[in-house]
Amino acid sequence: MTNILVVTSSLRGAEGLSTRFATEIAEGLKARSGGMLTTRDLSTTPLPHITPAYTEGRMVPLDIRTPEEQQAVALAETLVQEIRAADVIVIGSGMINFSLSSQLKAWIDHIVWPGVTFAYGEAGANGLLTGKKTYLVTASGGVFSEGAYAPLDFQTNYLVRLLGFIGLTDVETFRIEGTAYGPDAANAAIAAAEAQIRSAIERAA
């Protein structure tokens, strides 16, 4: 049985294109594999931003953590366990000011954990969340995959590299971009994404 984790973060909720297509991928894979689907919707249930209670609490043994540290670390442990339990991870991200939303960044800040999701060795950093397939869906009003605005893409490029840092190196990316360039451009971007996602689901079956 395949365990699938879908993480969505669009401020528009279910109407956001990144959420729509990330959910479509996750549900399509679940239908074909008969797997289990876990949803982490960061828009409807946002995570707190990390504080010293987390960054300091994770460095000390459980029996000497303060109540605040115990709560903060327990939340991060839950998020990491969701990833560890997943065979497939689907992430949806809508661009905000050339980058990802603060909701998704809060999730990342909780799961990038020294000694837990990555470790340093003689050859440098090693990601510890290996052997998983990741689908990344990013949405943006402009076009950032190429052209004049490509240097301002601090969303897709950042996420691919960050995921790789913690061991999620098998990442398939879907960009829905140019949707602010009028109805024709938006419809074309959506149609292209739908075709790419259908193909990905069929290949995964």
Assign 70 to helix, strand or coil.
Answer: helix
**Model confidence pLDDT, tens digit, residues 16-41:** 999 999 999 999 999 988 889 999 99
Going along the chain from its start, the domains and CATH numbers come out as 3-204 (3.40.50.360)
Q: Does position 108 have pLDDT exceeding 90, yes or no? A: yes
**Model confidence pLDDT, tens digit, residues 160-194:** 999 999 999 999 999 999 999 999 999 999 999 99
What does the pLDDT read at residue 95? 96
Instruction: Please check if 199 is assigned to a binding site.
Output: no
Which residues, other chains included, contact 21 with Cβ-Cβ below 8 Å and sequence gap of 6+? 92, 137, 139, 174, 176, 193, 194, 197
SS3 content of the chain, % helix, strand, coil (to 5): 45, 20, 30
- What is the rounded CA–CA span in Å between residue 168 and residue 130? 6
**Model confidence pLDDT, tens digit, residues 60-70:** 999 999 999 99
